[in-house]
Chain A
């Protein structure tokens, strides 16, 4: 039914065969490429569980037509984990108690990574606004905000230390 195409996912060219032509990137990641870390909870861009990076911008993969993502750099939670670029975020989420059922967590890690890539010293409202596209039903967000603040602080401390002569 569908045609074949290739996607650049986590730096690897992945061939997609036989996906439904209307399939979203979320469906293709999960059902064709076996990348199950990206979750789906609404399929209308209202929960952020399916957040991925496309050309460095955080988007909802449920709102991306998979066959239209050809030629773009797609990074999923698995890609962040492999490259360890978000390891401090992941550790802080664990330590701060920001994880309960964990369904929203991969999307939040991706969104946090996108935030901290551009803002080194976000205020609490900045953090809350940047993560407001990611619904968490368990935590009430308090520990999540705490986790993000911890990472921002650590990263600033590291940068400062590195700059010292």
Chain B
């Protein structure tokens, strides 16, 4: 096995075009767990293409005209949990703070989180609710995918062999953002359920996504529609009945499983509470505090 360290996206995609079975290494926090568990027993002829020398993938930019933020796929959760992202995309920063530990956040990347495609991926839930667009590159061109199009199932993506995620474009709207995550302990924990709510006051749209309650992170279009139809955008309020209906819609849409971490019933129940609390925080703060 050899490690290739391209310094441009073109070099990376070229290296992958030569042999699409080469493994892409981003922050390493998932891939190394797999490699470590092999204990050298089955070390095959795998070659690794490491992306961390590609400066372009670790930068970010704002497009004022499109009102969007584009973050490189190799940006770490440590970066994304601090300023300016904490102000611009608070839900993403909130999720970032719950991913792994300090050590993991210093290495793990947003692109890696997406491509790992865990049903519990905390970053994926937020990017889905934000309506982010995923930019990819391969030897034969570039693509833009929604998060939902990118992620196809448990740990599977729509990336073609040799295709990598290069950046993520996040709309910068005005309005409430919140992320909530349930874990058994207070640090270093995989979500039993997570949820993200993004309110875009300008476009009067709701983004709602939930994780760990299905084979992939799920966007909740029915609940979004219920809320959108019932928000008093002028007053920034949403009536309680609509919140309840949205929660019911989420609970009906999710497809959680029983496993050693939790029960399907708990997950369905809990994700509803998370969504309810997010909606109350966004639209009815006084009620929520009482």
Q: Is the CB of A43 within 8 A of B33?
A: yes
Q: Which residues of B contact A24 (CB under 8 A)?
A: 32, 35-36
Q: Is the CB of B36 within 8 A of A132?
A: no
Q: Is the CB of A63 within 8 A of B2?
A: no
Task: Give the contacts of B28-62 with A (CB-CB under 8 A).
Answer: 28-29, 31-33, 35-38, 40, 43, 46, 48, 50, 52
Determine whether A38 belongs to the interface, using a CB cutoff of 8 Å to chain B.
no
Q: Is the CB of B103 within 8 A of A58?
A: yes
Determine whether B225 belongs to the interface, using a CB cutoff of 8 Å to chain A.
no
With A62-B36, A65-B48: A46-B5 Cβ-Cβ less than 8 Å: no
Determine whether B106 belongs to the interface, using a CB cutoff of 8 Å to chain A.
yes
CA distance A11 to B106 in the complex (A): 21
Q: Is the CB of A48 within 8 A of B32?
A: no
Interface size for A (C-beta < 8 A) is 29
Closest Cβ of chain A to B83, distance in Å, is: 14
Q: Which residues of A contact B102 (CB under 8 A)?
A: 58, 111, 114, 129-130, 132-133
Q: Which residues of B contact A60 (CB under 8 A)?
A: 29, 101, 103-104, 107
Q: Which residues of A contact B43 (CB under 8 A)?
A: 20-22
Closest Cβ of chain B to A101, distance in Å, is: 20
CA distance A19 to B46 in the complex (A): 15
Task: Give the contacts of B1-34 with A (CB-CB under 8 A).
Answer: 1-3, 5, 25, 27-29, 31-33
Determine whether B229 belongs to the interface, using a CB cutoff of 8 Å to chain A.
no
Number of A-B contacts (CB under 8 A): 97
Determine whether B67 belongs to the interface, using a CB cutoff of 8 Å to chain A.
no
Determine whether A64 belongs to the interface, using a CB cutoff of 8 Å to chain B.
yes
Closest Cβ of chain A to B15, distance in Å, is: 14
The listed residue with most B CB atoms (<10 A of its CB), out of A64, A129, A133, is A133
Q: Which residues of A contact B186 (CB under 8 A)?
A: 132
Q: Which residue of A lies closest to B45 (CB)?
A: A21
Q: Is the CB of A64 within 8 A of B107?
A: yes
CA distance A156 to B46 in the complex (A): 51
Determine whether A117 belongs to the interface, using a CB cutoff of 8 Å to chain B.
no
Determine whether B279 belongs to the interface, using a CB cutoff of 8 Å to chain A.
no
Q: Is the CB of B28 within 8 A of A68?
A: yes
Q: Is the CB of B104 within 8 A of A45?
A: yes
Task: Give the contacts of A107-143 with B (CB-CB under 8 A).
Answer: 111, 114, 129-130, 132-134
With A63-B28, A63-B32, A65-B28: A20-B40 Cβ-Cβ less than 8 Å: yes
The listed residue with most A CB atoms (<10 A of its CB), out of B1, B28, B37, is B28
Residue interface mask A47-70, B partner, CB < 8 A = 1: 010010000011110111101101
Determine whether B184 belongs to the interface, using a CB cutoff of 8 Å to chain A.
no
CA distance A165 to B1 in the complex (A): 60
Q: Is the CB of B48 within 8 A of A133?
A: no
Closest Cβ of chain A to B27, distance in Å, is: 8
Q: Which residues of A contact B188 (CB under 8 A)?
A: 46, 132-133
CA distance A60 to B102 in the complex (A): 9
Q: Which residues of A contact B221 (CB under 8 A)?
A: none
Determine whether B78 belongs to the interface, using a CB cutoff of 8 Å to chain A.
yes
